Amino acid sequence: MKDNAIPPPRRPGKILAVAWLILFLPACVLATRHTVCTACPLSGIQKAVETAAAGDTIIIREGVYKERGITVKKRLCLIGEGEAVIDGQGQGEILSVFAPGSEVRGLAFRNVGVSYTEDPAAIRLVRCEGCLVADNVLENTFFGIYLQQSEGCTVRGNRIVGRAKEEASSGNAIHIWKGERILVEGNYVSGHRDGIYFEFVDDSEIRGNTSEGNLRYGLHFMFSNRDVYEDNTFRDNGAGVAVMFSRQIRMLGNTFDHNWGGASYGILLKEISDGEMAYNTFRENTRGIYAEGANRLHIHHNEFVENGWALDVKGNCLDNRFEYNNFIANTFELTTNSRHNLNTYSNNYWGNYRGADLDRDGIGDVPYRPASLHALIIGKVPAASILLHSFFMEALDYAERIFPSLIPEQLVDEKPLMKPARHDTD
Amino acid sequence: MKKIISFVAGDILRNRTVLAYTAVLLLFSLGLFSLEPRPEKALLSLMNIVLVFVPLASIVFSTIHYYNSAEFMELVLAQPVARSRVLLVEFAGIALALVLAFLVGVGLPVLWHGAGTKGILLVLGGVMATVVFVALAFLGAVTFRDKAQGIGFALILWFFFALVFDALLLLVLYNFSEYPLERAVLVLTMLNPIDIARMMIITRMDAAALMGHSGAVFREFLAGAWGWVVAWLALLAWGAAPLAVAVRIFNRKDL
């Protein structure tokens, strides 16, 4: 299974996106301009799109435009001035772009229709290369921004707020299906099924976004390789974040906050391998990390604060390394469903560690077994959660840590830190 | 009546053991709050102490005090007063003194550190635990004439409720794990005053791990008005029933 020949993750997405920007930005600034406003000779956006030649810019002035099904088949820049609102009136899609190098900026989109066969979106990019969707405000959308088979596109600074009520009848805020080198940056997404959805998207970046209050996942990631997501905040989403069936993903500096509920977790790692997860903060999640079939991940310098279970690492995870993580005030630090341990834990700070450090080298003298017997029992018999924090259970947990018989004996941190790791120096 | 209660309570409050008990509780509470920067975590550790140490201290102290004041009670009984009244007065005196000690030792530090509703719940739980275990002590003390036997019985009761009961509960849970046990477990929990108090505090405090799974059922019940009333009634019953039985035995007993 081990495949050491895989190269380290590359990050060409940003560079290419910037290259595209440089290539096309002047075009938008220097091109022939057409102005659309409610009182102008050109009062419709579709009309303006038809009139314009490839490479032209269309400025859309303040006003409400009740249009839908706007189709762009040549390279155009659509730029909103003031509060330019395109109202789809709850029927079908609003804007579809089929032309590489196009831009959609500073517009407001409202009231996308709902259709389960067509998945209408406010903005759809199809087979676009180097397109830019920036600084738009989307309200009451089914799907917000939908990219399919596109490369080198940038989705930046958009605000997408839906009114999803139930999972089965709602769409995703930013939905990317098949793509490469996509940059999703600084967006705010909420009130959809999934905040950001990636399927078959390689070499891409998700940076500085906030995704909250979505019904299912804040970020949903499948069959996507060599991607980076960094400095995002995922808060109060139905289930949290799911990263599945992907390889070489780097997850850095994200905040997973208050994903709370029966089946919620900060992040679900399912069938993912060879990734890195560092400098993230997990706060008040029912489960911090829920790992199933996660292999060869390097998980280091993360903060786990006040979660129910900080780590739930199933028995089918192997060769993961947990280092320099801080576990503070979690009810349970670790649980698993296996008698064996195939991962390594070292140099972590465990809040429940009770050992001493007589030689004062900052490392506890006695190894620490973070797996809690009670958590293990709850995994088997859920009703046993009634014994939480009882004197009996705590005594049993303590005894089990010293003489393990039910918790995996090899699941041990040989070098538990005495003080929380400092993420900038350790 | 009031005179005797105040006499008994005043006598106990001047007792060195009770003063030491207050001091130890105070030390625990202040120590935990100053060592642990997170009040929630401190409350949790404090809860463990309150629900283990307070019942133990209450039941052992009350038992010993009952035996030591047997002569005093005989003296009072020589006056024209009802027997049950004398026992109830003795109970009220001890319970009052220990509750006061608890309020000073734990209640004040908790309020001082502004622990909010969770803290108030913890204090209420501790007060109820004190009263219940004083009542249980009286039950043992009136049953056994021999002091050593009485103290032994008190220790066994404490051991049972603090440890053995939960072990048995776990055994039941394990053996019937194929069945939906949540409701049955809630009923079983009502059989242990310590567990009732713990669940009342926990369901509002450390919800993270309890959520999901069965926790939702427990929470729904214990955090709801109906479950709240039931839990309090059960705790009150745990105080009243042993006391009633003790009075009955005391009334018929040949002193």
Nearest chain B Cα distance for residue A206, angstroms: 29
State the Cα–Cα distance between residues A29 and B209, nearest whole angstrom: 56
Please give the residue of chain B at the shortest CA–CA distance from A334. B209
Q: Do A262 and B48 touch (CB under 8 A)?
A: no
Best B44, B53, B169, B192 member to test A by mutation, with max A CBs in 10 Å, is B169
Choose the closest CB to B198 out of A307, A389, A395: A389
Q: What is the arithmetic mean of pLDDT over B76-94?
A: 88
pLDDT of residue A46: 92
Q: What is the pLDDT of residues B183-208, one digit of tens each?
A: 888 889 999 999 999 888 887 765 55
Is the pLDDT confidence value at A5 over 70? no
Yes or no: say if B63 and B91 are a contact pair by the CB < 8 Å rule.
no
Q: List, in sequence order, every residue forming a beta bridge with A283; answer none if it has no partner.
A: A257, A305
- Residue A30 tokens read as 């220097």
CB A310 within 8 A of CB A336: no
Residues on chain A touching B38 (C-beta within 8 angstroms): 329
State the pLDDT at residue B214: 67
**Which of B158, B170, B185 to probe the A interface (max A CBs under 10 A)?**
B170
- Whether residues B47 and A389 touch (CB distance < 8 A) is answered with yes
- Are B212 and A286 within 8 A, CB to CB? yes
- Model confidence over A376-423: pLDDT tens digits? 888 888 888 888 888 898 888 888 888 888 888 889 999 999 999 998
Closest in A306, A309, A383 to B214, CB measured: A383
- pLDDT digit string (tens) for B98-151? 999 999 999 999 988 877 788 888 999 999 999 999 999 999 999 999 999 999
Q: Do B169 and A286 touch (CB under 8 A)?
A: no
Domain boundaries defined on chain B: 2-252
Please tell me which of the candidates B47, B199, B211 has its beta carbon nearest to residue A261: B211
Considering CB atoms only, which of A284, A307, A393 is closest to B166?
A393
The answer on pLDDT for B29 being more than 70 is: yes
Q: How confident is the model at residue A1 (pLDDT cuts 50, 70, 90)?
A: very low
How far is A316 from B83, CA to CA, in rounded Å? 69
Q: Is the pLDDT reported for residue A124 higher than 60?
A: yes
Cα gap A121→A112, rounded to integer Å? 6
Please give the residue of chain A at the shortest CA–CA distance from B160: A392
pLDDT band at A171 (very low <50, low <70, confident <90, very high): very high
- The pLDDT tens digits for A196-223 are 999 999 999 999 999 999 999 999 999 9
Contact A388 B186 (CB under 8 A): no
Per-residue pLDDT tens for A219-270?
999 999 999 999 999 999 988 899 999 999 999 999 999 888 777 899 999 9
Which of 2.160.20.10, 3.30.565.10, 3.40.640.10, 1.20.1250.20 would CATH assign to domain A13-238?
Answer: 2.160.20.10
pLDDT tens digits, A281-314: 999 898 999 999 999 999 999 999 988 889 999 9
Whether A383 sits inside 8 A of B173 (CB atoms) is yes
Quick one: pLDDT band at residue A2, thresholds 50, 70, 90?
very low
What pLDDT was estimated at residue B210? 54
Nearest to A217 by CA among A270, A272, A253, A180: A270
Counting residues of chain B whose pLDDT is more than 90, the rounded percentage is: 49
Give A27's pLDDT tier (boundaries 50, 70, 90). low
Nearest to A381 among B47, B173, B198 (CB): B173
- A180 phi and psi angles, rounded to 5 deg: -140, 150
Per-residue b/e over A148-169, b at no fewer than 16 CB within 10 Å? bebbbbbbbbbbbbbebeeeee
Distance to chain A for B147, nearest Cα, Å: 28
- Distance (Å) from the alpha carbon of A387 to chain B's nearest alpha carbon: 7
CB contact under 8 A, B209 and A380: no
Q: How far is A269 from chain B (nearest CA, A)?
A: 19
A-chain residue closest to B172, CA distance = A384
Residues of B contacting chain A (CB within 8 angstroms): 38, 40-41, 44, 47-48, 51-52, 162-163, 166-167, 169-170, 173-174, 177, 181-182, 185-186, 189, 195, 198-199, 202, 206, 208-216, 218
Give the mean pLDDT of chain B.
87
The domain ranges of chain A are: 13-238
A403: contact with B, CB 8 A cutoff: no
- Give the closest of B174, B206, B209 to A309, CB-based: B209
Query: One-letter amino acid identity for A265?
Result: Y
pLDDT band, very low/low/confident/very high, at A24 (cuts 50, 70, 90): low
0.90 cut: is pTM over it? Answer: no
pLDDT at B200: 83
Smallest Cβ–Cβ distance between B166 and the set A260, A263, A392 belongs to: A392
Share of chain A above pLDDT 70, in %: 93
Q: Do B209 and A329 make contact, defined as CB atoms within 8 angstroms?
A: no
Q: Helix, strand, or coil here: B39?
A: helix
In this prediction, residue A425 carries a pLDDT of 81
B162 and A263: CB-CB below 8 Å? no
Model confidence at A142, pLDDT cuts 50, 70, 90, reads very high
Scored b (16 or more CB within 10 A) or e, B198-231 reads: bbbbbbebbbbbbbbbbbbbbbebbeeeebeebb
CA distance A355 to A359: 12
Instruction: Please say whether the beta carbons of A274 and A267 come within 8 A.
Output: no
Of B181, B202, B208, the CB nearest to A286: B208
Measured between CA atoms, the residue of chain B closest to residue A380 is B177
Q: Does A385 touch chain B (CB under 8 A)?
A: yes
Distance from CA of A222 to the nearest CA of B (A): 26
Which member of B41, B52, B173 has the closest CB to residue A384? B173
**Number of Cβ pairs < 8 A linking chain A and chain B:** 95
Nearest C-alpha of chain A: how many angstroms from B186?
A: 8
Q: Where in A227-343 does DSSP place strands (E)?
A: 228-230, 233-235, 240-244, 250-252, 255-257, 267-270, 276-278, 281-283, 287-292, 298-300, 303-305, 309-313, 321-323, 326-328, 332-335
Q: For residue A277, give every residue at least 6 positions away whose Cβ sits within 8 Å of its Cβ, in sequence order, or none.
A: A250, A251, A252, A289, A297, A298, A299, A300, A302
Instruction: Please name the residue of chain A whose CA is at the shortest distance from the CA of residue B44.
Output: A389
Q: Which residues does residue A175 pair with via DSSP β-bridges, in sequence order?
A: A146, A197
Identify the closest residue of chain B to A379 by CA–CA distance: B213
pLDDT-derived band of residue A14, with 50, 70 and 90 as boundaries?
low
Which of B54, B158, B210, B222 has the most A C-beta neighbours within 10 Å, making it the best mutation to test the interface with A? Answer: B210
Q: For a pLDDT cut of 90, what percent of chain A falls above it?
A: 68
